[in-house]
Chain A
Amino acid sequence: DAGVIQSPRHEVTEMGQEVTLRCKPISGHDYLFWYRQTMMRGLELLIYFNNNVPIDDSGMPEDRFSAKMPNASFSTLKIQPSEPRDSAVYFCASSIPGTQETQYFGPGTRLLVL
């Protein structure tokens, strides 16, 4: 299995630009999580989906952030407009059905907003 796939791995953009991060979960996993990680705040859950439906988006910082999961094999996290304080590493993780709560993380997207 290829594991969770994220793209791009690195993104450098200018303030005000739109940023789209992409994630392909592990096949068969029915939960998908988007996290942001910074040195100061650690890992923060932004939003998670179950069977493509958003369950909890209470961690989305503001309306500039949006996430979609159009099908079981693809999700996007969009920031529009981006700001320097959005600079962080963004991780996608997926989890298998049933009682196993283990999360499998992708390699992350390192975002720098200038």
Chain B
Amino acid sequence: SQKIEQNSEALNIQEGKTATLTCNYTNYSPAYLQWYRQDPGRGPVFLLLIRENEKEKRKERLKVTFDTTLKQSLFHITASQPADSATYLCAPAGAGNNRKLIWGLGTSLAVNP
């Protein structure tokens, strides 16, 4: 069955450093993968989407990579700020279904001032 794994341990980094979050998937090849941010008590908010034929995508301080050989996506936040503290969710598309997302449990990021 399709399985998504994200760093289970919370990530604590110093302000200004680069945060790197990992998402691994097994047993299938998603057509694309999305990253979302979730703050406590709120719904997830879309950040970036990367397709299987793209190696890298950037948006301001955010960068996502997609390695279909390793079956892994990396999510980077450069020049991190305390306001980046949140839970980040990886969501690859379901096998054979472009609208159904399979969600990881998320990685909690804390950026310390």
Give chain A's interface residues, CB within 8 Å of chain B.
4, 31, 42-45, 48, 50, 55-56, 91, 93, 95, 101-108
Which of A42, A55, A106 contacts B106 (CB under 8 A)? A42
Task: Identify A42's interface contact among B43, B93, B99, B104, CB under 8 A.
Answer: B104
Contact, CB under 8 Å: B103 / A93: no
Tell whether B10 is near chain A: CB-to-CB under 8 Å: no
What residues on A are CB-neighbors of B42 within 8 Å?
107-108
Known A42-B105, A43-B89, A101-B32: A31·B46 in contact at CB below 8 Å: no
Contact partner, B99, options A31, A44, A106, Cβ 8 Å: A31
Indicate if the CB atoms of A102 and B44 lie closer than 8 Å.
no
> What sequence of 0s and 1s flags, for each residue 83-97 of chain B, a beta carbon within 8 Å of any chain A beta carbon?
000000101010001
The answer on a CB contact under 8 Å between A105 and B104 is: no
Residue from A48, A55, A105 within 8 A of B43 (CB atoms)? A105
A101 — which chain B residues lie within 8 A by C-beta?
32, 34, 49, 93, 98-99, 101
Tell me the bound Cα distance from A107 to B40 in angstroms. Answer: 11
Residues A104 and B46 in contact in the complex (CB < 8 Å), given A48-B99, A50-B99: yes
Q: Complex formed: what's the CA distance from A20 to B100 in Å?
A: 24
